[in-house]
Amino acid sequence: MTRIYTSIANIAIFNPHQTNRWQIGLILILGLLLRLGGIQHGLPYVYDPDEPIFMWYAEQIVVNKDLNPHWFGHPGSTTIYLLAILYASIFIIGYLAGNFQTTWDLRLFCDQDPTLIYLLSRGTMLVFGVVTVLLVFLLARRLFSHNTALLAAGILAITPLHVHYSKFVRTDIQATFWVVLAFWFCLNIVEKGCWRDYLLAGAMTGIATATKYPAALIFASIIIAHLLIRNWDPSHQIKLISSGLASFAAMFASSPYLFLDYRTTLSNISDEIIFHPLAAERNTQFFKNLVWYLQVPLAKSFTWIGLILIGTGIILCFRQRQKSGYLLASFPIIFLLFISSNKLYWERWVIIALPFLSTLLAYAATETVQWISQRWRSMPSGWVYAAWLLIIIIPLFVSSLKDSVTLATPDTRTLAAEWILNNIPPGSNLAVEWYSPSLPKEAFNYFYINDLGNLVRFDPQNYYKKLYTPYGKLGDINDLQSIQDQDIAFIVMSNLYDRYLLTPKSHPEIIEKYEAIMELGKLVFSARPEPWKTQGVTIRIYQVKTR
């Protein structure tokens, strides 16, 4: 741990014998600016379906004064507790200023305008993202060289997936930070094999797991580091067991109710396993999943040339037969194989592996420069670095910049909400579905499709928030006639229909219902997301034909 503190101090306070502060400083500033761009996306509306989950349970802890989150789906406990601290801080400040009397006042304040709490929460995730870039620099410099470290940090600083999810209240970026920190102590185990490093590696693993379950795979690196020492003394094996115990202890300390409220934990895990969200419906074959990860999120994160260099970096790590190289190359392989074995897959699942892949890419690129310079002395190494800049760095930077600018543009749902409020008479009957605009709960009569497939009316009296958040899928409706029976005047559709069209053979009956619903009305408004111009999802509004 002292080594990390010393390394960070050498960067924070200029020390020419250790590093040039301005180089890593510029990289961190670049990473920070890219992650700040569009961090206010959607606000004061909240359109991401997952952000409110963590915010809600964090708010519940403060409002109800109950430390049990009552949800362990990710498990996300460290994220929820951290957000609860933010909520509590706002309450204390408001209470001292005389604005809040009870925690319920805090809830009403955040409901009135969630901008403040969401910006603070997203900013917290952003900090984890930027600090992870710094950790990658320290890690790559420790393993290879200063130039490799700068390149590795620079790549992660502009990697589109890492930049994008640093602006959302989720567990991915936070878990990645703890995993990289755990890996640092795994390297210590290989070099020293002392008790402290076993315990700290286990503790970081436990905290990472309490953040996001798949992060537990970093314990495989602890096992590999232990085996690489090749000390078969029985007393030495106790260190590995102690590391496992430290992992459980840290996990319990970070998320005690994960164990104490085990019934809820088992229920949430079961729900996560059987839950098949439309966006993640994919092939269940391992190799098809693996190919998808390579073709989509990883190619998007590093380009195809970058993936070739990553593969080269893995080969170099194994060829050099260095213990630290084995350790670095093994984790992303193990992690990628694990997530590919899952029946569902998401592009964000690769985020935990991005720091390691960035380091491998930088290592291969640096070695390639040296190899070319040795064989073609007439070609300056600077030209080779410039080639990598053009081929890899610039496309990644442009992609992240485009995403940041797009996130800062108006959301299609906000544009749709404005159109609805300006063009639809108050009190009209609206049928709405998930991912469509949030609207004042008293402005219209809202209808949604419940879990039984019935069209039911929303009751604003049972809903404390001022904005109605749409629920249900129109394509699940049992009786199309109920739309006219309930005198629905307008139908507000999100992009669910478009997502079903991506797998037409899987849901033909739902697609038919959506198309039949569209036939009931006339399209009066539509908005689609466009890079650099608008963010969000496709929104269509139909005015139902009168009978």
CB atoms within 10 A of CB 433: 24
Amino acid 15: pLDDT: 40
Secondary structure of residue 502 in the 3-state scheme? coil
Contact in structure between 69 and 57 (CB atoms under 8 Å): yes
Helices (H), 376-495: 381-388, 394-407, 412-423, 481-485
Residue 261, C-beta contacts closer than 8 angstroms, at least 6 positions apart: 68, 70, 72
The first and second tokens of residue 137, run together, are 């620099």
Q: Which among 409, 416, 425, 421 has a CA at the least distance from the CA of 535?
A: 409
Q: What is the pLDDT along the chain (547 residues), one digit of tens a residue?
A: 545 544 443 443 334 344 467 889 999 999 999 999 999 999 999 999 899 999 999 999 999 999 999 999 999 999 999 999 999 999 999 999 999 999 999 998 988 889 999 999 999 999 999 999 999 999 999 999 998 999 999 999 999 999 999 999 999 999 999 999 999 999 999 998 899 999 999 999 999 999 999 999 999 999 999 999 987 788 789 999 999 999 999 999 999 999 999 999 999 988 877 665 655 555 568 888 999 999 999 999 999 999 999 999 999 999 988 899 999 999 999 999 999 998 778 899 999 999 999 999 999 998 888 777 777 766 566 666 667 677 889 999 999 999 999 999 999 999 999 999 999 999 999 999 999 999 998 999 999 999 899 999 998 887 777 889 898 999 999 999 999 999 999 999 999 999 888 888 878 899 999 999 999 989 999 999 999 999 999 999 999 987 6
- Which residues, in sequence order, are CB contacts of 366 under 8 Å at separation 6+? 144, 145, 147, 148, 151
**490-493, strands of its sheet edge to edge:** 455-457, 445-449, 429-432, 490-493, 539-544, 521-527
Burial 300-329 (b: 16+ CB within 10 A, else e): bbbbebbbebbebbbebbeeeeebbbbbbb
Q: Where are the alpha helices (DSSP H) in 51-114?
A: 51-64, 77-96, 103-112
pLDDT value of residue 16: 37
What pLDDT, on a 0 to 100 scale, did the predictor assign at position 14?
A: 35
- Work out the angle at residue 10's Cα, subtended by the Cα atoms of residues 219 and 198, and round it to the nearest 5 degrees: 20
Can you tell me which residue has the tokens 């004064």? 65
Query: Beta strand pairing status for 539-544 and 490-493?
Result: antiparallel
Q: Which residues contact 418 (CB under 8 A, 6 or more apart)?
A: none
Strand partners, 544: 521
DSSP H or E stretch at residue 493: strand 490-493
For strands 539-544 and 467-468, give the pairing: unpaired
Q: Which two tokens stand for residue 238?
A: 């106790």
Amino acid identity at 312: T
Q: 0.85 cut: is pTM over it? A: yes
Q: How many residues does the chain have?
A: 547
Rounded to whole angstroms, how far apart are CA atoms 326 and 221?
10
Measured CA angle at 341 (ends 338, 344), to 5 deg: 110
Between CA 422 and CA 437 the distance in angstroms is 14
Are 366 and 144 spatial neighbours (Cβ–Cβ below 8 Å)?
Answer: yes
Beta partners for 530? 534
CA distance 128 to 126: 5
Measured between alpha carbons, how far is 67 from 62 in angstroms, rounded to an integer?
8
Alpha helices in 230-345 (DSSP H): 234-254, 257-260, 262-274, 286-293, 299-319, 323-340
CA 285 to chain centroid:
24
